[in-house]
Structure formats: structure tokens, C-alpha cells
Amino acid sequence: MLSYAEEILLLALDDETGAIKPLPAQAMHYALAGALLIELAMAGRIDTDLQTLRVTDRAPTGDALLDDVLQRLTAPQPVPRKTSDWLGQLVTDMPDLQERVLARLVDKGVLRIEDRRILWVFAVRRYPLLEDREVREVRARLRAVIDSDDIPSPEEAVLIALVNACDLFDEVFTPAELRRLGPRIDTLSRLDLIGREVASAVDEISRSVAAAMLPHL
């Protein structure tokens, strides 16, 4: 079974080349951090509301990546911190998060590592799929819940919010389908608190980048 972080990263990989697709600024970093917080919440280790994120159980989960995050959350803080604050902190403190999630997918036999050189000089690493069963399953699950009138489960709402924050639904639906289903995607994306915080952070960064570029246009 794949984690939220692993599913998001699978959708972000080009099926043919194994390269990460172009995404909004910092979207993947925030989505992965948010996915880990959600996993901890579902494991009963943290609780969140509109104001604060609280650790409710310090016991290790047995998952090295989740326990790394949990240890950071349990460090003494001068004042309670919001979920959005923790997202930003995790993105800053865990710059290798994407590589760690990719390594897990390699260990699970979902991806393989392929090192190449561009122009025989520049080294690049790609992660082609060994088989596409897992990514097809994620896409099918998203299609089933969004293209219906069903109320998503908490797990499905989480995934929808994170995929939407990364602007990855064009990997699931055709342009015509997205025009029809866009309002429902937006509605469902607001059902999960941490997912909303991820989307807000990505949107704020994207607007900042666009504003910084305006003087140069």
C-alpha cells in the first residue's frame, strides 16, 4: 500500500521519462510535507484545527520518514504553531524530502533509478516506472470519486486536495472533463484542512513568483 506522499509523487512523474513534471513553484515540496502531516493525523499522532497543530501521541509510528517529522513536531516551541507554519518549517528543514520519497518507491519496486548524461556532461537522474499498475490505480480511484455524486471518504478528500494543490488533475482527466468537473474538484479540495493549507501556501508562493517576474517582462 502506498502512502499519500508516494501517490502524489507517482502522479507527478512522467510515465515515459521518469522526470518530475513542471509544477507550480514549491508545490511538490508543500504537498509532500502536507501528506506526511496527514499520515500522522490519521495515525493518531497529531491533531489540527484552524489555529494550531498539536502532537497528541509521541509514540513512534515505526515509519522512519513519519517518525522524523514527528520528532521535529515534538521539539519545544515558545508558542503553539499553526499548520501553515509547520508546513513551511518542514519544507525548509527537509530539502531532501522528495528524494527520500522516491527512494521508498524504488525500494517498493514501483520505480527504478536511471542515471543519464546530457551532452555527455550533465548528469541527470530519472525514475521510470517498473510497471504502471500503481499509478493507474491512483488515477482510477480519483476518477471514480470525482466523476460521481458520492461523498469522498476522508482518505479520498486528502488525496484530492493534494493533487489539486499540485495542479496534477490534468494527469487524470482530459481538458473537456476538467472544464466539467472543475467546480466539484474545487469543492472537494476544501474538505481537508491540511490540504487547504497546502493549496494556500502554493498559491501564495506562485503569486509571489509571478509578482517578482513582472518588472522583468
User: What is the count of structural domains for the chain?
Assistant: 1
Please report, for the domain that includes residue 117, its CATH number: 1.10.3630.10
pLDDT of residue 125: 55
Q: In Å, what is the CA distance from 113 to each residue of 28, 120, 185?
A: 20, 18, 33
What the block records as the C-alpha cell of 43 is 495515525
pLDDT of residue 196: 86
Angle between helices 64-73 and 83-93 (to 10 degrees): 120
Closest CA to 171 of 6, 20, 5: 20
How much is the CA Rg of the chain, to the nearest whole Å? Answer: 18
- pLDDT in single tens digits along all 217 residues of the chain: 899 999 999 999 888 788 888 888 788 999 999 999 999 999 999 998 867 899 999 999 999 999 999 999 999 888 889 898 999 999 999 999 999 999 999 899 888 877 665 555 555 656 577 778 888 899 999 999 999 998 888 889 989 999 998 999 998 999 999 999 999 999 999 888 888 888 888 887 767 655 555 554 4
- Domain, as residue range, for 195: 4-216
H-only helix segments in the chain: 4-12, 27-42, 64-73, 83-93, 97-107, 133-146, 154-165, 175-189, 193-213
